[in-house]
């Protein structure tokens, strides 16, 4: 890991750590414009936030979205409004409704925040003529964020539901899935008991 890489990771870890103690007051999901306000986002024990989530907290806005900071695509936290990270001209707020799974945790402080990092092997790179131009290398990607509240955990996953069967989720992906149960996280392939218990 280079010095620059370690600084990027340290900044990431600081932002995630700063969520502890914040009270989440409201939540907004953003999708691409033109999908309409009736876009389906609520699938029971998980929500499809697509472009990202904005949490209004007692200490200011927090955006959870997907980025290519570490490798396409990982979940990331920004202590800024969502319009700094997604194009507001091309997106619109689609949910959640006032009586969603979020109701159980709104107004509560974040007791803990943790990230699931996955290691992916990239390469080797091949040209069209079959010549290998690089060696395989490993990258660590933050694929999911867990926030713990007294009312229960909430996970944010950089993943894409595989429609027409949205129960299947491709990870890592350039969309955000919000999960509310350990069983949904296990269904998506997360097995670390400390992360999904």
DSSP 8-class letter at 98 = T
pLDDT in tens, the chain (197 residues): 565 688 999 999 999 999 999 999 999 998 876 655 556 888 999 999 989 999 999 999 999 999 999 998 999 999 999 887 777 666 777 878 888 999 999 999 999 999 999 999 888 877 778 787 778 888 999 999 999 999 999 999 999 999 888 889 999 999 999 999 999 999 999 999 999 98
Give this prediction's pTM: 0.90
Euclidean distance between CA atoms 174 and 163, whole angstroms? 14
| Helix, strand counts (H, E) of the chain | 3, 12
- Helices (H), ranges, 48-196: 182-187, 193-196
Distance in angstroms between the alpha carbons of the first and the last residue of the chain: 30
């Amino acid at each position: 890991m280079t010095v620059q890489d370690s600084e990027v990771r340290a900044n990431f870890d600081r932002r995630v750590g700063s969520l502890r103690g914040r009270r989440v007051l409201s939540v907004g999901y953003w999708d691409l414009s033109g999908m309409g306000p009736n876009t389906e986002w609520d699938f029971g024990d998980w929500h499809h936030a697509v472009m990202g989530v904005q949490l209004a907290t007692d200490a200011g806005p927090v955006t959870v979205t997907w980025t290519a900071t570490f490798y396409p695509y990982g979940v990331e936290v920004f202590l800024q409004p969502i319009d700094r990270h997604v194009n507001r001209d091309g997106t619109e707020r689609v949910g959640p409704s006032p009586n969603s799974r979020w109701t159980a945790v709104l107004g509560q402080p974040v007791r803990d925040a943790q990230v699931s990092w996955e290691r992916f092997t990239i390469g080797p790179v091949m040209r069209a003529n079959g010549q290998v131009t690089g060696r395989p290398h490993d990258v660590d990607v933050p694929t999911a964020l867990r926030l713990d509240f007294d009312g229960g955990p909430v996970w944010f996953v950089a993943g894409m539901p595989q429609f027409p069967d949205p129960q299947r989720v491709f990870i890592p992906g350039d969309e955000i899935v919000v999960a509310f149960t350990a069983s949904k996280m296990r269904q998506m392939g997360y097995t670390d008991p400390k992360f999904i218990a």
